[in-house]
Amino acid sequence: MKRMPLKAKVLSENQRVAEALRKTYKKHGILCLNFISAPGSGKTQLLESTLAALDPETRVAVLTGDIQTDNDARRLARYGFPVKQICTGGTCHLDGHMIENAMSDWDLEKIDLLLIENVGNLVCPSSYDLGEDAKVVLLSVTEGEDKPLKYPGIFFKSQLFLLTKVDLLPHLKFDADLAEANARRVHPEIEIIRCSCTEAGGLDAWLTWLKNKMKAAKAA
């Protein structure tokens, strides 16, 4: 009997769960976004600023993944929306079962937008489908312009690339145009938005993108 390699078996099982999650999201009209970046790129700060900018009546929920601590969940819960922390206990990514278990006691009829903050890592999370409508990859201007070339998998699989902390550009030797060109070498159709959580209007393009995606999910 031919044995399937362990990694292939794990990914196959995850894909089965992810497809079930995708059907569930579609059934309830939920837009699900999976945020992926290296540690320190600003995922939690982006989500804080996004939740603060949304209408309090927006039906949004957040799942945030970390190896240890519930620090991010406590930060995000201040905005009054349902938030759960997923502690992976050492695993460097979230998987479908973790998402399925975390949502098991939520009323999905009361959620229009599900934001998933993945574990800080540009490699492992790219292999695990969570049933999301889109992966969103973040790269901050405090990192390197060559990150898209070093970690092509996640940039190839992401629909949107958020270049974060652009308010720091005047103080850094970072070529934003080169970073974006490198991302398009990997994925020519990737959408790119520059954003800042500290400048007035720094999130306008991102919030417009998000609201348009939510409308499209409801219309589907």
Whole-model pTM over 0.85: yes
Written as tens digits, the pLDDT of the chain (220 aa) is 445 565 566 678 999 999 999 999 999 999 999 999 999 999 999 999 999 999 999 999 999 999 999 999 999 999 999 999 999 988 999 999 999 999 999 999 999 999 999 999 999 999 999 999 999 999 999 999 999 999 999 999 999 999 999 999 999 999 999 999 999 999 999 999 999 999 999 999 999 999 999 998 888 7
8 A C-beta contact, residue 160 and residue 194: no
d(CA 18, CA 198): 35
Place of tokens 């991102």: 206
Provide the β-strand partners of residue 160. 136, 191
8 A C-beta contact, residue 99 and residue 128: no
Q: 140: how many CB neighbours lie within 10 A of its CB? A: 22
CA-based nearest residue to 54, from 191, 172, 203, 189: 203
d(CA 69, CA 59): 26
100-139 burial by CB neighbour count: b if 16+ within 10 A, else e? bebbeeeeeeebbbbbbbbbbbbebbbebbbbbbbbbbbb
Domains and CATH numbers, the chain: 6-219 (3.40.50.300)
